[in-house]
A and B are shown apart, each in its own frame.
Chain A
Amino acid sequence: MRALTWHGKHDVRMETVPDPRIVNPRDAIIRITSTAICGSDLHLYDSYIPSMHRGDILGHEFMGEVVETGPGSNLTKGQRVVIPFVIACGKCFFCEKQQFSACDNSNPAEKADLSEIAYGYAMSGLFGYSHMTGGYAGGQAEYVRVPYSDVGPIVIPDGLEDDKVLFLSDILPTGWMAAENCQIEPGDTVAVWGCGPVGLFSTQSAFLMGAQRVIAIDHYPHRLDLAKSMGAEVINYHDVKVREALMEMTGGIGPDACIDAVGMESHGFTIDNVVDAVKTTTKLGTDRTHVLREVLLACRKGGRVSVPGVYGGMGDKIPIGALMQKGLQVKTGQTHVQKYLRELLELIGDGKIDTTFLISHRLPLEDAPKGYKMFKEQQDEVTKVVLKPDWQKEAA
């Protein structure tokens, strides 16, 4: 089959690789019909994530048609399914608590050591996201093997086209959980750093959960326009001092909840960020934590901080005093995708959530390397790239 493979910093290629097979009883093989490039794929593209191997197939936002099932799968051939990017067994202590991204079993035993050393405990497997999270082949390909296919995939009813449901795989539930982690109360103002897909879906979700105001922060005018079209007020941090603006806009109280939808590759030319950038480039460690620092300082006393943005390593100069003294609550984590699928599919079906506005570019899978380059270099206009393995068939 054809697949997008990683070969190093800013080097991804289309290659012919072996087809995946059913290996375990609960596996299924999916023929992919739509697959997207995620903002977090750019962390791989920029070579920020350790334990990548040359030839790894990327992609963790995908959906398609069931073409083969193991004896333990409950799927049937021909069903259309969206696959959560988090791989979860459904049987362990964590899965039973619906903390699917903490699954104890999905990361193969010989791969799990890496995250156990880095984080104290082994993390779950993820599709197409380094060997620390299992070394599973991703979905920017024609076919993918899906483990525990009786737990993760959600069957899509006829009449809902791919573009409407594809983002159930990651960014929609991620934005939803980010807003849920804000424990929004009536009258609340939520500040969102980053108007990428997760930031925009967090904004949408925060309004659905009853936020009175959302203030969105970015520096790309088009992305700020998208946030504005959802009813958010916006701050362009190139022109405006973020903390001062938030203070003024909230009558000196500050935002009740703050979402860091940026993570470890934050931009900006403040001194702390430049130092972080130098350190990461010279491999002296540490994630770039500029946004998280600003979030902790900007959040109101007794407020809530939600971190869907991806961090992977160590952070430097975290304002720990602000965190403690102000009595902030912090909630984070890779998304427990499986927990939210049914509810979100229903909201999409009822027309209460529409995610298609986000898709700015559709490309054949063969053009995936071009898609990465565009997404990396033109972040203002390229908000989401969806890749179609069946491009020629669809065009015909």
Chain B
Amino acid sequence: MSSEPVERALESDAPLTAAVHQHDVAHEAAEDRGWHEAALVGRTITVNRPREELYAFWRDFRNLATFMENVESVTPGDDRTSHWVVKAPAGRTVEWDSVLTEDVPGRLLAWESVEGADIKNTGRIEFRDSPAGRGTEITATIIYDPPGGDLGRLIAKLFQKEPKIQARRELRRFKQLMETGEISTAEAPDAAPRGGSQAKG
């Protein structure tokens, strides 16, 4: 049963990631999956490249580590599975296996973590031609179950603090890589030397 605010949000032509009552939206997402709780992250960007090219890059999961800051590696298993290793604070890592639940070439990828994941998560990424001919509109939606315990607290630092910021940074880097062939940086010292305490080379 949807709550009333979520029902009302659905009357607007906007995704639920933009709904005012995010807590209700996340609660429903958790209930649907039998999770303890859920957090929802979503973002749409336009990338000035053809849809098929962007889909193909994303479909080869090994590529994801090139622009996702905290992802150490994504190792493909069979055609539909992959193993994720993600950096966590204090030098630790968290891992999970993921399986593709939907795959429409050039249009849609959806995945879900399997039993035993350090962080239960599910997500989808949709590729649409920009109606104005501006390339491809990409909508990414990720739902995850923040884990409890010591590990949970560590992971919360990594993901829960600003998951929205994290997601928009990853998508910006993806867009940069696809549009310009590189990821922009002003990292000291090589890309941007600085004086003061950072003056040493």
Chain A residues packing against B (C-beta within 8 Å): 1, 3, 5, 7, 13, 15-21, 23-26, 53-57, 72, 89-93, 96, 104-113, 116, 122, 125, 134-137, 141, 145, 147-148
A54-B184 in contact (CB<8A): no
Closest chain B residue to A72, Cβ basis: B181
For B197, list chain A residues within 8 Å (CB): 54-55
- Per the bound structure, the CA–CA distance linking A136 and B175 in Å amounts to 20
CB distance from B42 to the nearest CB of A (A): 16
A54-B196 in contact (CB<8A): yes
A108-B190 in contact (CB<8A): no
For A15, list chain B residues within 8 Å (CB): 195-196, 199
Give chain A's interface secondary structure class: loop
A20-B169 in contact (CB<8A): no
Give the interface residue-count category, chain B: 35 or more
Is B62 positioned at the interface, with any CB of A under 8 Å from its CB?
no
Closest chain B residue to A107, Cβ basis: B184
- Per the bound structure, the CA–CA distance linking A20 and B200 in Å amounts to 12
For A141, list chain B residues within 8 Å (CB): 193
B169-A109 in contact (CB<8A): yes
Which 7 A/B pairs are nearest by Cβ-Cβ distance? A55-B196, A5-B195, A18-B201, A15-B195, A55-B195, A109-B172, A55-B194
A5-B196 in contact (CB<8A): yes
- Per the bound structure, the CA–CA distance linking A56 and B197 in Å amounts to 11
Closest chain B residue to A105, Cβ basis: B176
Interface residues of B in 63-80 (CB under 8 A from A): 69
Is B173 positioned at the interface, with any CB of A under 8 Å from its CB?
yes
- Per the bound structure, the CA–CA distance linking A106 and B197 in Å amounts to 26
- The answer, among A91, A109, A134, A136, for a CB contact under 8 Å with B48, is A91
For B168, list chain A residues within 8 Å (CB): 109, 113, 116
- Per the bound structure, the CA–CA distance linking A108 and B182 in Å amounts to 11
Is B192 positioned at the interface, with any CB of A under 8 Å from its CB?
yes
- What 1/0 flags go to B39-52 for Cβ under 8 Å of A? 00000001010000
- Per the bound structure, the CA–CA distance linking A25 and B177 in Å amounts to 12
Q: Which of A54, A55, A113 has the most CB atoms of chain B within a 10 A radius of its CB?
A: A55
